[in-house]
Structure 1
Amino acid sequence: MGNSNEHKNTPVWAFETIELKKPDPIWKDKGVREKEELYNLLSVFSVKQVEHIGSTAIPNLPAKPIIDLMASIPSLELIHEIVENLSLHEWHYVPPELDKQPWRRFFVKVKNDKRVAHLHLMQEGEERWEQQLKFRNKLRTNAHLAEEYATIKCHLAQEFNNDRESYTEAKTEFINKVLFN
């Protein structure tokens, strides 16, 4: 039967198309709420910092309507307990062998079979923590960069509509330009 049964155990949200939405001021409020909820859920694991990152954290930027957050943790030793805790609150763990990003542990919050939030859980001292903040803050303070990024994202969302990994990878050159120039 091939393709029809190939992904039968894979959740629907794992294959969502890339759908950029016009900037929505409500994303900021959703980010604050998700941040507070995650902090409350993860503080028992010594998480002291949760940040709203990604395009929904940048005013006037089109984005997939998914709130990206990152949290810093002293150690990933308790990941199984964290997975158990977050799974009670609509968070789905994507193991590193599927995520293919060894520097983080990744979670997707799902409602009605659609992604509503992502959590990038990183060990304290991970260099990508500062890079995520630097990128977000540069786009928040530089309208020209934000406009350029919006144009690139819109083009790539059409080109890679059904391929999240390629869409993300194709944004890397611009992100690196912002971070390292």
Structure 2
Amino acid sequence: MAKEVGVALIEKKIRAPLDALQYAYEQSKNVTGSSTACLIVLNDNQLTAANIGDSQFIVIRNNQIILESTEQQIKFNMPYQIGTDCDLTPKKDAQLYQLSLQPNDYIIMGTDGLFDNLKTSAMLNSIKKGKCSGIAQDIANKAFVNSRKKNIVTPFAKLAKEHNVSWSGGKPDDITVLVAKVVNKQVKGTPKRK
């Protein structure tokens, strides 16, 4: 489905994340399996996003979280997914988000392996690490370490308790982290010297 999202955005020039996800979903109907999906499109200073499942993102401004997507679950530890043998579709079931961005805003996007194992407050602390690649690596490392610990209160353990499921510690899972920083738009062309 990721390839088809790329086709939608680049070749078909579909700019709305929901429409791009729906296109990818329709083009992937013959592929066996299912997936969660979180797609963010940045256009000038506008963030638009479509999310289905338990991947998530946060937007940070002045060291405060100003937008946090929420996970979608059928029941505890069973996220919404699109694909074969699923009745869900992007058009019908995706959560939509829109936000005006400002220079120096950060966007942190990740799979459930990130958000299940690391509190967003720990992500805020990582913003001071400099470049986005360093921030992403630091956040991924923290989530991985937490996923292996047995006696730590993670977001997943807290949610398990809320659902009367006995669980302690982290949750081993894949961990993917993307970090972007909003910068001032540069004027195209070569600056002229006086």
Query: Is TM-score (shorter-chain normalized) higher than 0.5?
Result: no
TM-score, length of structure 1 as denominator length? 0.32
TM-score, length of structure 2 as denominator length? 0.30
Q: Which has the higher strand share?
A: 2
Structure having the higher Rg: 2
Higher relative contact order (CA 8 A, sep 6+): 1
